[in-house]
Amino acid sequence: MAVLDDSLPTQMDEAGAQLDDVEIAFKGERPDAFLSACRETRPHVIVVNVDLFESEPDPARVIAKLKEETGAELVIALYSFLRRRDLEALAEHGRPMRGPVSLARLRTQMLSVIVKHVLGGPSGARPEKPPAVEPGPARFSKPQLARLMEISSVVDCECPNHLAEIVASLGAFEAYAKNCENKSPKDAEVHADLALFTAQARAIMESALQRIVEHERIVI
């Protein structure tokens, strides 16, 4: 990952543990140094604050050019304020995010790329196939998960809240992987694996959530 921003480098120095499994090719606020590092390292993800290009009136053109020059799989475009038409144009070339942004939110946006490369391994070799077992449909509805995210526990414990968030996030990513764009049979195969792995993780965490719901006698 390469980061061109005036805030994130400091955040990464202070709380970079959230990105421990991500190789950082560059972090700084100089566009020339950023481009030089990207040409040399070819990062899979670039994070670019379009506000740093004050002399360029068209942020979408900036992102399109950087995407072409770096060959990045994912371009996250940070901005402070943009007109609606500029934001819509920006979304055609990258993933817009209003800044400032936390490292946790940034990691969430990168999740699909992180998982793809973890599963593929450093050499791009395919991992072992997940067992051909269907995890089954979701046990908890969205309204039930929403209630569990906010419910107060009978003890000083927020496990139901955190588990509900995890289950909801896994369910959302499972759906995302199933509907992700495929440009080749290889893409379709990878996305099918991602969806199945995530569904299995979702089923495991649903069991954990069910356990604590029953233990605390929570009515949902």
The predicted structure's pLDDT at residue 128? 53
pLDDT of 16: 63
* Residue numbers of the domain that contains 204: 142-215
Residue 70 lies in a domain: yes
| pTM (2 d.p.) | 0.57
Confidence at residue 116, expressed as pLDDT on a 0 to 100 scale: 63
| Sign of the dihedral defined by the CA atoms of residues 99, 41, 116, 23, in that order | negative
Last residue of a domain, one of 70, 89, 120: 120
Burial class (CB in 10 A: 0-12, 13-18, 19+), 121: exposed
Residue 128 in any domain: the answer is no
The reply to whether 16 and 109 lie within a common domain is yes
Phi, psi of 27 (to 5 degrees): -150, 125
Q: Note whether 184 and 79 are same-domain residues.
A: no
Per-residue model confidence (pLDDT) at position 118: 53
Residues 6+ apart with CB under 8 A from 165: 149
Together in a domain, 38 and 147: no
Please indicate, yes or no, whether residues 115 and 24 belong to a single structural domain of this protein: yes
108 and 148: one domain?
no
Judge if 171 and 201 occupy the same domain.
yes
Q: Do 99 and 158 fall into the same domain?
A: no
Contacts of 135 (CB under 8 A, 6+ apart): 196, 199, 200, 202, 203
CA distance linking residue 75 with residue 50, whole number of Å: 11
Q: Copy the structure tokens of residue 129.
A: 């196939």
In a domain, 130, yes or no: no
Per-residue tokens: 91 = 């979304």
Domain assignment present for residue 132? The answer is no
Note whether 40 and 103 are same-domain residues. Answer: yes
Higher pLDDT, 52 or 120: 52
Least confident of 65-69, 109-113, 139-143, 197-201: 109-113
Asked if residue 11 is part of any domain, the answer here is: yes
Q: What is the CATH number of the domain that holds 38?
A: 3.40.50.2300
In the chain, the DSSP E strands lie at 2-4, 26-28, 45-49, 74-79, 95-98
Domain contains 61: yes
Q: Does 152 lie in the same domain as 76?
A: no
The reported pLDDT for the residue numbered 188 is 86
Domains of the chain: total: 2
Q: Do residue 114 and residue 18 come from a single domain?
A: yes
Q: Are residues 115 and 183 in the same domain?
A: no
Tell me if 137 is assigned to some domain. Answer: no
Give pLDDT, residue 105: 82
